[in-house]
Structure 1
C-alpha cells in the first residue's frame, strides 16, 4: 500500500521518515514488526509504517475519516484518562508527533519491548506561542525535556529549536532505542518479528 503523498496533510513528518529510514539502513527491520502511532490524528504515520510492512496499532481520541489497510488496527481511545489504556501492550516501534501528555510518558516507555525497540518523538516546545498553537505550557516541552524523559533509552538522535518548514514552530524531537550502546555501535541490533 502506498501512502498518499499527493495530500500534504497525509505526508509523514520528515523527522519520522528520516528516523525510520535510518533504522532500515543501520538496524535490520523486518516486515511484521509491531508499531504504535500514538495520537495518530488522520493516520499519516500509521499509513506510512504500514506501507513499510509494520503491523500498526493507531490510536486517537477522534476517529479519522481514513481507509485503513489490513495491517493497521485503529482504536478510538482517550489517552488522557487516569488509567493508561495501553497497559500491557508491547511494540517494536512507537511514533508520537504533535502530542504531549506528561502524566503517561513513563507508561508509554513501558510499552516498548525490553530490547531493540525504538521511540520516535516529535512535538512542540517552549517558545512556540509566538508562532501559534499550542501555547499552553501543558503542551510545550521545556528545553532538553525529551532527553530527560527518555533517559532510560539510548538516544540515537536529538534536535530542538526553530523549524522553518512547513511553517515556523519551536520543535523538540528525539529517537531512542532500548538496546545496549555496544550493540548499537557495533551494528549487531536486529529488529525481528516477535510473536
Structure 2
C-alpha cells in the first residue's frame, strides 16, 4: 500500500530546508506518510492522488485532492508551495509543472527509481526509471543542495534523489547547509 510505509530518510534529512510553517505539497501522496511527517512538523499540507481510498485516508491532515494528474490538467497551475515532495513516482510530462510549483525560497524533495532497478525488481519499465542525470536536468532552474544516484540495499533498489531550492535574491546561505 503506497504511502503507508515509513517516511523516506531522504525526505526527513532535507525537510529542514522547507521554510518554517510553509505549505507542503505531496505529489502522488498515497496514504500520506510524508503529509503526516510535515504536518507533525508544523506545516500545512496538501496531497494529491488518483486513488479515492488514499485521498479519503489523508483528508483529515489537510487539503486532499483526488485527481488523475497523468491524464488531466495539473490541478495546481499557478499555485506554488514552500515544499514539494515526490517519492516513488515518475511521470515525465509533469516534471516542468512540479518544478514550477516550488515557490521562491521553497524546496523540491524528490526521490524515485532509476536505471538499474530493472536488475533488482520493480519498477522495471524504462518509463518509470530515471535516466542518468535526468533529475538534475529537470531541476536545472533550481539550486541543488544535495543529489544522489545509486543503489540502496534495504530494500534493494536504484534511486535518484534531490533536494533543490528555488533561489531567491539575498537568500541566507546558512539555510542551505547540512
Structure 1: stretches of 5+ with no match in the other structure: 1-7, 190-195
Q: Quote the residue 2:86 is aligned against.
A: 96
Q: For residues 68-83 of structure 1, what are the structure 2 equivalents within 5 Å? A: 68-70=59-61, 72-83=62-73
Give, in angstroms, the shift of residue 182 of structure 1. 6.6
Instruction: Report the alpha carbon displacement of residue 141 of structure 1 after superposing the two structures with TM.
Output: 0.1
Q: 2:159 aligns with which of 171, 179, 182?
A: 171
CA distance in 1, matches of 2:80, 2:121: 35
- Which one has the largest radius of gyration? 1
Q: How does 1:67-146 map to 2 (within 5 A)?
A: 68-70=59-61, 72-113=62-103, 115-146=104-135
- SS of aligned partner of 2:78: coil
RMSD (Å) for aligned C-alpha atoms: 2.1
Distance 1:35 1:161 in 2: 27
Q: Could you tell me how far apart the structure 2 residues matched to 1:55 and 1:10 are?
A: 21
Question: 5 Å matches for 1:180-195?
Answer: 180=168, 183-185=171-173, 187=174
CA contact (8 A) 2:32 2:58 kept: no
Q: Deviations over 1:60-115 (max 9, x none)?
A: 01032625445x111111010253222122101000000001111101111111x2
2-structure distance, mates of 1:37, 1:129: 26
Measure, in 1, the Cα distance between the counterparts of 2:8 and 2:175.
28
Distance 1:124 1:112, change over 3 A: same
Number of the residue aligned with 2:20: 30
Give the TM-score normalised by the residue count of structure 1.
Answer: 0.81
Matched positions, count = 172
Gaps of 5+ in 2: none
